[in-house]
Amino acid sequence: MWYIHIQQLNASLSKKTQRRRPNFIMSNAECVVVSFGCNDDGQLGTGAKRRPTLAIDDVSASNFPQQLSNLQDKDVVAVSCGSRHTMALTASGAVYSWGWGSMGQLGHGDLKSINEPQKIDFFEKEGHMVDYISCGGCHSAAVTNDGTLYMWGESHWGQLGLPKEYDAAHESLPVKCPMPEGEADEVIVKVSCGGTHTAALTSLGHVYVWGRGDSGQLGIGSAWLKDPENESLMGASRPHLVKGFDGEKVVQVACGAFHSAAVTEQGHVYIWGKEDYGMLGVGQSSDQQIPKRLDYFDDIPVLCVAVLYFLLVPGIFTC
C-alpha cells in the first residue's frame, strides 16, 4: 500500500526542486497534511463523510486538497494510505488513524469508523515509540523503535502473522507479531501491508512474508503449503523468509493487492506475484512465485519502489 515518509522525501529533493514542490510537501517545521479523493468511509480525515462527484459545479472540499486540522500541530513525518483507511506517524512516535474501521484496522479497540484522525492510545500506554507504519486492505502494522512489529485488523488470510491461539477474524488493538529467531541483533525496521498479505524488512536486509499467497504474492513458491503449522489453504499464517535476492541486502519492500516488490542495496528491483496487465514488468503472462529481477533497471540504480492498490468496479487492480 501507499506510504510516504515526509522527512526522507524532503531530504531527497534538490534545492531547485524544493522551490517548486507543492505545499503539502514542506520542510519538517512547516509540514502539513492534506487529503483529497473518495471519502465514503471518512478516510480523508476531514471530518466529513461524503463521496465526491465529477460534476463541474461540485466544489465540495473532498474534490480539492484540504488540510487536516487535527494534525496541524502534530509534526507528522509519515503517512500511509490503505484501501479505505489512513494512518499518520508523528516525530514523537505517536500514531493516528481514521477511516473505515469495521475490521479493527484503526486500532482503537472497537470496530467503529471515524472521519477525523484519532490517536491510537495503545502505544502511548505501553510506552512504545513507533518508527514505521503501514496500512493494508483491511489491516495495519507498526514497527516500534526497539524493532518490535505490531499488527491489527483483519486476520482472515493470516495477514497478521499471529500464532494459532489468536483464533479471531480480526484484532481491534495492536498485537505483537512473533517473528522467527534471526541472527544476533536482527530486528524489524520496516513493514508493508498489501491487500491480504504482509512483508517485513529486517535490519540485516532479510524479508519475511505472511498472509494470502495463492497468486505468488508471498514470493516463497510452495513453501507455505509444506508448513505443518500452517492452517490456511490460501497462504501462510506465520512469517516465512523470502529467498532469491542473489545474496543482495534488501533496503525496501512494498506490497500491493496481489503482488510485491523489493529494492536491494545495489539498486536492483525484484518483483513477484500476480501478473495482470503487465504489472510485474517481466514480460510474461503467468504469475511469478518467487522474486524475479527486473533487468531493465540493471544500469539504472533504483532508490525506492511503490506498489499501488485501487478498486475499480467490477475488479481490483494493482500496478
In a domain, 251, yes or no: yes
In a domain, 292, yes or no: yes
Q: Give the pLDDT score at 231.
A: 56
DSSP state of 209: E
User: Does residue 148 or residue 317 have the better pLDDT?
Assistant: 148
- Averaged pLDDT, 204-211: 96
Q: Which domain does 257 fall in, by range? A: 179-319
Q: What percent of the chain has pLDDT over 70?
A: 71
User: Does residue 14 or residue 222 have the better pLDDT?
Assistant: 222
- Averaged pLDDT, 87-95: 96
Q: Give the pLDDT score at 235.
A: 78
What SS3 class is residue 6? helix
Residue pair 254/305 in contact (Cβ under 8 Å)? The answer is yes
**Cell triple for residue 239?**
512469517
| Continuous segment of H or E residues that includes residue 151 | strand 149-154
Average the pLDDT over each of 1-10, 79-88, 124-133, 280-289 and give the range with the smallest value. Answer: 1-10
pLDDT digit string, tens, across residues 140-191: 999 999 999 999 999 999 999 988 777 678 999 999 999 988 787 899 999 9
Q: Give the pLDDT score at 57.
A: 43
Q: Give the pLDDT score at 232.
A: 60
pLDDT at 309 over 60: no
Q: Give the pLDDT score at 222.
A: 75
Residue 34's identity, in one-letter code, is: V
| Continuous segment of H or E residues that includes residue 281 | none
In a domain, 145, yes or no: no
Calpha distance 189→201 (Å, rounded):
6
In a domain, 163, yes or no: no
What SS3 class is residue 189? strand
pLDDT digit string, tens, across residues 218-253: 999 876 666 666 656 577 888 999 999 999 999 999
Q: Give the pLDDT score at 32.
A: 72
What is this structure's pTM? Answer: 0.82
Phi and psi at 77, nearest 5°, equal -115, -15
In a domain, 28, yes or no: no
Q: Give the pLDDT score at 205.
A: 97
Q: Give the pLDDT score at 183.
A: 80
- Averaged pLDDT, 91-103: 96
First to last CA, the chain: 11
Going by pLDDT thresholds of 50, 70 and 90, the confidence category of residue 9 is very low
In a domain, 25, yes or no: no
Q: How many angstroms separate the most distant Cα atoms in the chain?
A: 61
Q: How many domains does the chain have?
A: 1
- The CATH number that applies at residue 258 is 2.130.10.30
In a domain, 245, yes or no: yes
In a domain, 226, yes or no: yes
Phi and psi at 52, nearest 5°, equal -70, 150
Average the pLDDT over each of 28-42, 99-113, 207-221, 233-247 and give the range with the smallest value. Answer: 28-42
